[in-house]
């Protein structure tokens, strides 16, 4: 049985050691618990208690050792007072807050409780003449009265914070505490008698009070610990019952409902966020509350409310921007506490400036972050921090509850935005309709005039003839009749034009395709229009390639196209001018250029002139005649043939119309499956041709084919091909393991034949499809781990051999093709947005036309060399290779008037231009490309110092591939002619890049780039960058093949 601590202490026997041991044990246990609590960011409530005990023990040892029993009384009283102060100090130090901020144990509750207990005890001691402890019963009554207030406070605390005790339960809890404390006090003081000196009794009381405090602290803290959510536990949203929500005491629920009502009631967004921040502030005792959100497409969080010391402040400034990636990297599982994160200064490192606004001093405490989650996406988050008082332990639940408010308001604003944009679209629609109506009126007046003129002539001539039928001379009559016939033709032509236009517009046009020799047709058209040229004394210059350019097209429509374009050119060329018609063949398209020496077309009209009934200047109508339908018809014809038409101004004078018509040697195998009828079948064919076109275009191959495994027959079938015999495409079934394709399929390895004639083994791999081929590559088409087919390319357009780099491109491409084929399969079962996919594919093809395929290869090779030098992974390099082909896709969506503008752009135009990375990203999104490629498209205009667009990412936030593309693209832009500046020389461009290293560009990338440029031996040749990369590579392979007899390496591959 315990004896009085004081007695043991002053008798100085082995008991004192036992007592000290006990006290130390309690202290250590407390410290242990405190350190555990620290993990949960509930800093050291017990630390103070423990420290108090520890010091109490130490002080008594000092008393015993140095002061002796005699004078101890006075010293002990002084020491006790000092200890009380020290105790307070330690508790606050442990928690790092000012005294009054801290736990209920300090100042506000513990102080009055302890004092009232002690005062009561002392006064009872005095009343009873210093002898209250004579009998056990008296002692119990004495202690009960002493500790009743403390018990009551403890009960109250439990009610409020922890257990929700109310009514009788509260009384019971208070009574239980008081009783327990009294019994313990009785036990401790059991060895004490009324004869003991006063100070011994006082010390006993202090001991008892200490134990009592410890008891309450223990219960309080352990219940806190269990109420504190542990990292392992994720118990989801707390079930909140209806009665909880309406109970007047349940403030969070009520506030949340009030805010919900505000949201539904249509309160302004700002006001809602203000109320939300204030509610959170009131609940959490945080010094500041920050609510930030981000839309689905946004990379960054935007501040919605910022409340500091209870006052709503204007938009805060952050010295660092916080984007979603960084946020998710910081708030990771490690730091998770329940549904949020607790981060302190060290956790955040440099990023703390992205979380806490400028001008806010960091306190030693951390900040709590609770993300607002919806559908697994982070919509936003709360940041609260620097607590003024102990935060409620159900802090996380409170914040999670308010996060529903954030979701609500976000959803509402989203909806409003949608309505707004819908309205905008509608009003745009209306404008468009009005414009169309205006166009119709213009059309009617122009057309009626166009009809009236020839009709007037016919009528006048006919009537005159009739009147003079007897007297008129034969020659005059012939002359009159000729005029009438001609004018009649004019009316017929006009009617034809209108009819074919309207049938094209409504889609009733029947395209009858046959092979058209473009060179012949152009010559023919020029001959037919000879009269027009003669009349105006306009010269013609016809430039045709040596070989025939044949496309698969509707002869009549193409004739109409050529006639319209050429007669249009003549029309706009002044007397004695010149019209130049050029025909060129490219990898997959024929290019027809009709250039005149007229006064050109205003820049802002370049796109409009292809609209219906549009003429540059109404007064031109009479001078040149025409219904304003000619170019609109041209555009329709070209589009019906999957081509493209545009116009550009020539520098000196005149306009240049360019038509790209795909060379239609693409054949799509008829699908065997039934049900592919009408538009579905048409779509499928168009889609597959686009795929093959992309394949041949990317590899610059004259022949290309896609073969897919027929699962039933277990043979490979060509589903689409370019440059191959239709018969072959329709009927070929390649057994697995046979021929090249069969081997590639089984082995899963590409076969690259550099030069078939030198390859002795090729005799065995007899393959009629490759007859006449000198170089080819076959690659497996992979879908994850399984192989679904084979893609082949052969015959480089330039007549050269395929290089290793080409093989890598093909292998990279196989991933894209298999993805696209899978989409096609999906399309055949479920409908999906095909148009968007086709648009993406077409854009990829078109952007290449602008840059020039050969140039693109060169720049890709530079990019790759830079990537290699920087030690990028193979996957990265593959992505980079693909990305280089499509990073600027969004430019296709920017109006020409902005892209080609000669003057400095206006703010609004810059803004539009800066949208192009995002536009490209959206354009490509249906293709399901590798994430890396998508990021290159989106971030290739981000600058190293964060001054780029669209997100203003900086440094390592920008993917390395995008940083490389940024340098290469800037270099490309510098060495080509811009709309309003001359081209730089390579040296100037290089220096410009170096000058911007560290600001716009990553110094690491610039370093590698400069070295690569040097290594590649880039030189300038007539303003164009010439690189020897392809030649060098070809040379190397040739050498290798020469050394090893006749293509040893290739033979191995084929085996």
Partner 1 sequence: MRKGKVLVVDDEVNITQILEFSIGSEGYEVLTASNGEEAVDKARREQPDLIILDIMMPKIDGYETCRILKANPLTKNIPVVLLTAKGRDIDKRLGYEVGATDYIIKPFSPNKLIERIHELLVSSR
d(CA 13, CA 948): 80
Q: What is the DSSP letter of 131?
A: -
Q: What is the DSSP letter of 195?
A: T
Stretch of 454-462, 568-576, 931-939, 1045-1053 lying at the interface with partner 1 (CB under 8 A): 454-462
Contact predicate 803/776, CB 8 Å: no
Which residues in 354-413 contact partner 1 (CB under 8 A)?
Answer: none
d(CA 670, CA 730): 7
Q: Is 570 helix (H, G, I), strand (E, B) or coil?
A: helix
- Give the residue, chosen from 309, 315, 319, 456, that forms a contact with partner 1 under the rule CB under 8 A: 456
Q: What is the DSSP letter of 703?
A: E
- What would the two tokens of residue 513 be? 């395709």
Q: Encode 596-629: b = buried (16+ Cβ within 10 Å), e = exposed.
A: bbbebbebebbeebbebbbbbeeeebeeeebbbb
Name every residue whose Cβ is closer than 8 Å to that of residue 750 and which is 6 or more positions away in sequence.
744, 777, 778, 779, 780, 807, 810, 811, 1053
Residue 697 CB, nearest approach to partner 1 (Å)? 46
How far lies 850's CA from each of 248, 422, 845, 885, 889, in Å? 70, 34, 9, 12, 11
**Nearer residue to partner 1 within complex by CB, 619 or 831:** 619
Q: Is 71 in the site for partner 1 (CB under 8 A)?
A: no
**Nearer residue to partner 1 within complex by CB, 60 or 490:** 490
Residue 483 CB, nearest approach to partner 1 (Å)? 5
Q: Is 11 in the site for partner 1 (CB under 8 A)?
A: no
Stretch of 246-254, 403-411, 463-471, 1024-1032 lying at the interface with partner 1 (CB under 8 A): 463-471
Stretch of 76-84, 413-421, 455-463, 1006-1014 lying at the interface with partner 1 (CB under 8 A): 455-463
How far lies 474's CA from each of 458, 481, 488, 757, 835, in Å? 18, 10, 21, 75, 63
**Nearer residue to partner 1 within complex by CB, 473 or 987:** 473
Q: Is 103 helix (H, G, I), strand (E, B) or coil?
A: coil
Residue 571 CB, nearest approach to partner 1 (Å)? 13
Q: Is 319 in the site for partner 1 (CB under 8 A)?
A: no
Q: Is 86 in the site for partner 1 (CB under 8 A)?
A: no
Residue 579 CB, nearest approach to partner 1 (Å)? 21
Helix axes 853-869, 1029-1043, angle to 10 degrees: 80
**Nearer residue to partner 1 within complex by CB, 38 or 449:** 449
**Nearer residue to partner 1 within complex by CB, 268 or 622:** 622
Stretch of 451-459, 496-504, 805-813, 861-869 lying at the interface with partner 1 (CB under 8 A): 451-459
Stretch of 433-441, 462-470, 900-908, 980-988 lying at the interface with partner 1 (CB under 8 A): 462-470
Stretch of 429-437, 457-465, 560-568, 833-841 lying at the interface with partner 1 (CB under 8 A): 457-465
Contact predicate 91/105, CB 8 Å: yes
Q: Is 803 in the site for partner 1 (CB under 8 A)?
A: no
Q: Is 460 in the site for partner 1 (CB under 8 A)?
A: yes
Q: Is 328 in the site for partner 1 (CB under 8 A)?
A: no
Q: Is 452 in the site for partner 1 (CB under 8 A)?
A: yes
How far lies 823's CA from each of 49, 468, 832, in Å? 68, 75, 8
Residue 540 CB, nearest approach to partner 1 (Å)? 24
**Nearer residue to partner 1 within complex by CB, 445 or 833:** 445
Q: What is the DSSP letter of 238?
A: P
**Nearer residue to partner 1 within complex by CB, 140 or 491:** 491
**Nearer residue to partner 1 within complex by CB, 461 or 832:** 461
Stretch of 458-466, 505-513, 596-604, 961-969 lying at the interface with partner 1 (CB under 8 A): 458-466
Which residues in 619-678 contact partner 1 (CB under 8 A)?
Answer: 619, 621-623
Q: Encode 921-941: b = buried (16+ Cβ within 10 Å), e = exposed.
A: bbbbebbebbebbbbbbbbbb
- What would the two tokens of residue 806 be? 């080409």
**Nearer residue to partner 1 within complex by CB, 466 or 673:** 466
Alpha-carbon dihedral angle through residues 732, 738, 739, 740, given to the nearest 10 degrees: 110
Stretch of 220-228, 274-282, 479-487, 834-842 lying at the interface with partner 1 (CB under 8 A): 479-487
Residue 469 CB, nearest approach to partner 1 (Å)? 13
Q: Is 476 in the site for partner 1 (CB under 8 A)?
A: yes
- For 714: left if phi > 0, alpha if psi spans -120 to 50, otherwise beta; the answer is left
Q: Is 468 in the site for partner 1 (CB under 8 A)?
A: yes
Residue 451 CB, nearest approach to partner 1 (Å)? 9
Q: Is 911 in the site for partner 1 (CB under 8 A)?
A: no
Q: Is 480 in the site for partner 1 (CB under 8 A)?
A: yes
Of 213, 200, 188, 211, the C-alpha closest to 63 is 200
- Give the residue, chosen from 7, 487, 596, 961, that forms a contact with partner 1 under the rule CB under 8 A: 487
Residue 594 CB, nearest approach to partner 1 (Å)? 24
Residue 570 CB, nearest approach to partner 1 (Å)? 16
d(CA 961, CA 939): 9
Give 3-state DSSP helix, strand, coil % of the chain, rounded to 5: 60, 15, 25
Report cis status (omega within 30 of 0) of the bond before 817: no
Which residues in 429-448 contact partner 1 (CB under 8 A)?
Answer: 448
- Give the residue, chosen from 461, 640, 646, 827, that forms a contact with partner 1 under the rule CB under 8 A: 461
Residue 437 CB, nearest approach to partner 1 (Å)? 18
Q: Is 163 in the site for partner 1 (CB under 8 A)?
A: no
Stretch of 33-41, 475-483, 718-726, 950-958 lying at the interface with partner 1 (CB under 8 A): 475-483
**Nearer residue to partner 1 within complex by CB, 457 or 997:** 457
- Give the residue, chosen from 449, 531, 713, 1014, that forms a contact with partner 1 under the rule CB under 8 A: 449
Compute how many residues bind partner 1; rule: CB under 8 A. 23
**Nearer residue to partner 1 within complex by CB, 303 or 457:** 457
Beta partners for residue 701, in sequence order? 796
Write the binding mask 565 to 604 for partner 1: x where contact by CB under 8 A, - elsewhere. ----------------------------------------
**Nearer residue to partner 1 within complex by CB, 377 or 618:** 618
Q: Is 464 in the site for partner 1 (CB under 8 A)?
A: yes
State the pairing for strand pair 655-662/589-595: antiparallel
Beta partners for residue 592, in sequence order? 583, 659
CB atoms within 10 A of CB 67: 15
**Nearer residue to partner 1 within complex by CB, 11 or 476:** 476
Q: What is the DSSP letter of 402?
A: H
Of 205, 220, 88, the C-alpha closest to 154 is 220
Write the binding mask 611 to 630 for partner 1: x where contact by CB under 8 A, - elsewhere. --------x-xxx-------
Q: What are phi and psi of 649, to 5 degrees?
A: -85, 140
**Nearer residue to partner 1 within complex by CB, 142 or 443:** 443
- Give the residue, chosen from 138, 184, 320, 455, that forms a contact with partner 1 under the rule CB under 8 A: 455
CB atoms within 10 A of CB 950: 19
d(CA 996, CA 1001): 6
- Give the residue, chosen from 483, 544, 891, 1030, that forms a contact with partner 1 under the rule CB under 8 A: 483
State the burial class of residue 129 (Cβ atoms within 10 Å of its Cβ: 0-12, 13-18, 19+): exposed
Q: Is 459 in the site for partner 1 (CB under 8 A)?
A: yes
Beta partners for residue 368, in sequence order? 342, 384
CB atoms within 10 A of CB 1050: 23
**List of residues contacting partner 1 (CB under 8 A):** 448-449, 452-453, 455-461, 463-464, 467-468, 476, 480, 483, 487, 619, 621-623
């Amino acid at each position: 049985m315990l004896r009085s601590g004081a007695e043991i202490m002053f008798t100085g026997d082995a008991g004192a050691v036992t007592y000290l041991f006990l006290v130390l044990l309690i202290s250590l246990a407390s410290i242990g618990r405190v350190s555990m609590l620290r993990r949960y960011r509930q800093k050291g409530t017990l630390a103070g208690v423990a420290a108090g005990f520890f010091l109490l023990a130490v002080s008594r040892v000092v008393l015993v050792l140095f002061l002796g029993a005699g004078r101890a009384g006075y010293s002990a009283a002084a020491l006790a007072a000092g200890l009380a102060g020290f105790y307070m100090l330690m508790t606050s130090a442990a928690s790092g807050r000012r005294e009054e901020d801290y736990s209920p144990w300090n100042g506000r509750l513990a102080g009055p409780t302890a004092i009232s207990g002690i005062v009561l005890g002392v006064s009872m001691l005095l009343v009873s003449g210093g002898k209250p402890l004579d009998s056990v019963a008296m002692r119990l009554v004495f202690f009960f009265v002493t500790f009743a207030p403390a018990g009551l406070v403890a009960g109250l605390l439990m009610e409020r914070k922890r257990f929700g005790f109310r009514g009788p339960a509260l009384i019971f809890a208070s009574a239980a505490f008081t009783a327990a404390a009294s019994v313990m006090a009785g036990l401790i003081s059991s060895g004490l008698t009324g004869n003991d000196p006063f100070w011994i009794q006082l010390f006993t009381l202090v001991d008892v009070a200490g134990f009592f405090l410890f008891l309450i602290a223990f219960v309080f803290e352990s219940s806190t610990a269990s109420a504190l959510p542990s990292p392992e536990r994720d118990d989801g949203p707390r079930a909140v019952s209806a009665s909880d929500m309406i109970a007047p005491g349940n403030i969070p629920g009520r506030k949340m409902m009030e805010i919900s009502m505000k949201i539904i009631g249509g309160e302004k967004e700002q006001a809602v966020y203000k109320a939300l921040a204030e509610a959170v502030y009131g609940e959490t005792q945080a010094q500041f509350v920050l609510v930030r959100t981000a839309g689905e497409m946004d990379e960054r969080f935007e501040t919605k409310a910022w409340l500091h010391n209870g006052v709503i402040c204007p938009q805060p400034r952050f010295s660092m921007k916080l984007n979603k990636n960084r946020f998710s990297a910081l708030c990771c599982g490690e730091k998770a506490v329940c549904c949020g994160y607790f981060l302190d200064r060290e956790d955040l490192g440099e990023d703390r400036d992205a979380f806490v606004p400028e001008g806010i001093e960091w306190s030693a405490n951390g900040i709590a972050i609770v993300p607002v989650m919806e559908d697994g996406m982070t919509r936003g988050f709360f940041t609260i921090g620097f607590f003024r008082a102990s935060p409620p332990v159900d802090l996380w639940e409170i914040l999670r509850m308010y996060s529903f408010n954030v979701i609500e308001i976000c959803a509402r604003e989203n909806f409003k935005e949608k309505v707004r944009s819908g309205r905008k679209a509608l009003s745009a629609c209306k404008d468009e309709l009005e414009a169309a109506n205006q166009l119709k009126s213009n059309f009617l007046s122009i057309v009626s005039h166009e009809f009236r003129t020839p009709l007037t002539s016919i009528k006048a001539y006919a009537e005159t003839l009739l009147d003079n039928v007897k007297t008129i001379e034969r020659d005059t009559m012939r002359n009159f009749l000729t005029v009438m016939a001609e004018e009649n033709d004019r009316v017929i032509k006009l009617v034809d034009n209108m009819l074919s236009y309207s049938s094209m517009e409504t889609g009733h046009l029947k395209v009858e395709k046959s092979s058209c020799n473009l060179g012949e047709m152009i010559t023919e058209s020029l001959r037919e229009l000879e009269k027009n040229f003669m009349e105006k004394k306009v010269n013609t210059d016809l430039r045709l390639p040596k070989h025939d350019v044949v496309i698969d097209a509707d002869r009549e429509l193409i004739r109409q196209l050529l006639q319209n374009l050429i007669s249009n050119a003549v029309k706009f060329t002044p007397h004695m001018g010149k019209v130049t018609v050029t025909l060129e063949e490219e990898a997959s398209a024929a290019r027809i250029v009709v250039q005149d020496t007229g006064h050109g077309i205003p820049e802002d009209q370049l796109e409009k002139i292809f609209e219906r009934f549009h003429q540059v200047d109404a007064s031109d109508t009479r001078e040149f005649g025409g219904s304003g339908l000619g170019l609109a018809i041209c555009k329709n014809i070209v589009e019906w043939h999957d081509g493209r038409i545009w116009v550009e101004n020539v520098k000196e004078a005149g306009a240049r119309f360019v038509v790209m018509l795909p060379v239609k040697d693409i054949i799509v195998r008829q699908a065997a499956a039934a049900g592919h009828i009408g538009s579905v079948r048409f779509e499928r064919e168009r889609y597959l041709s686009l795929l093959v076109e992309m394949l041949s275009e990317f590899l610059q191959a004259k022949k290309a084919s896609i073969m897919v495994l027929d699962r039933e027959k277990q043979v490979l079938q060509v589903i689409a091909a370019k440059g191959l015999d239709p018969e072959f495409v329709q009927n070929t079934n390649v057994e697995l393991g046979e021929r090249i394709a069969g081997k590639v399929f089984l082995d899963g390895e590409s076969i690259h034949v550099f030069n078939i004639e030198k390859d002795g083994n090729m005799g065995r791999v007899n393959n009629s499809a490759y007859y006449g081929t000198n170089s080819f590559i076959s690659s497996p088409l992979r879908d994850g781990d399984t192989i679904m087919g084979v893609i082949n390319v052969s015959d480089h357009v330039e007549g050269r051999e395929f290089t290793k780099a080409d093989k890598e491109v093909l292998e990279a491409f196989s991933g894209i093709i298999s993805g696209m084929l899978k989409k096609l399969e999906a399309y055949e079962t479920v409908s999906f947005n095909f148009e968007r996919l086709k648009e993406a594919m077409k854009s990829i093809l078109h952007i290449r036309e602008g840059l020039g395929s050969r140039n693109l290869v060169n720049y890709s090779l530079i990019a790759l060399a830079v990537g290699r030098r920087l030690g990028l992974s193979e996957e990265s390099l593959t992505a980079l290779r693909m990305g280089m082909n499509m990073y600027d896709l969004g430019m296709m969506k920017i109006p020409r008037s902005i892209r080609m503008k000669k003057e400095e752009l206006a703010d609004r135009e810059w803004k539009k231009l800066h949208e192009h990375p995002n536009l490209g990203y959206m354009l490509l999104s249906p293709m399901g490309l590798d994430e890396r490629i998508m990021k290159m498209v989106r971030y290739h205009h981000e600058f190293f110092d964060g001054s780029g667009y669209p997100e203003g990412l900086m440094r390592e936030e920008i993917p390395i591939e995008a940083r490389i593309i940024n340098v290469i693209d800037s270099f490309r832009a510098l060495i080509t002619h811009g709309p309003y500046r001359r081209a730089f020389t390579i040296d100037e461009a290089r220096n410009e890049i170096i000058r911007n290293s560290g600001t716009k560009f990553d110094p690491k990338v610039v370093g590698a780039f400069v070295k690569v440029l040097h290594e590649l031996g880039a030189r300038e040749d007539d303003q164009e960058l010439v690189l020897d990369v392809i030649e060098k590579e070809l040379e190397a392979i040739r050498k290798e093949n020469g050394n090893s007899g006749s293509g040893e390496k290739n033979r191995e591959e084929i085996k």
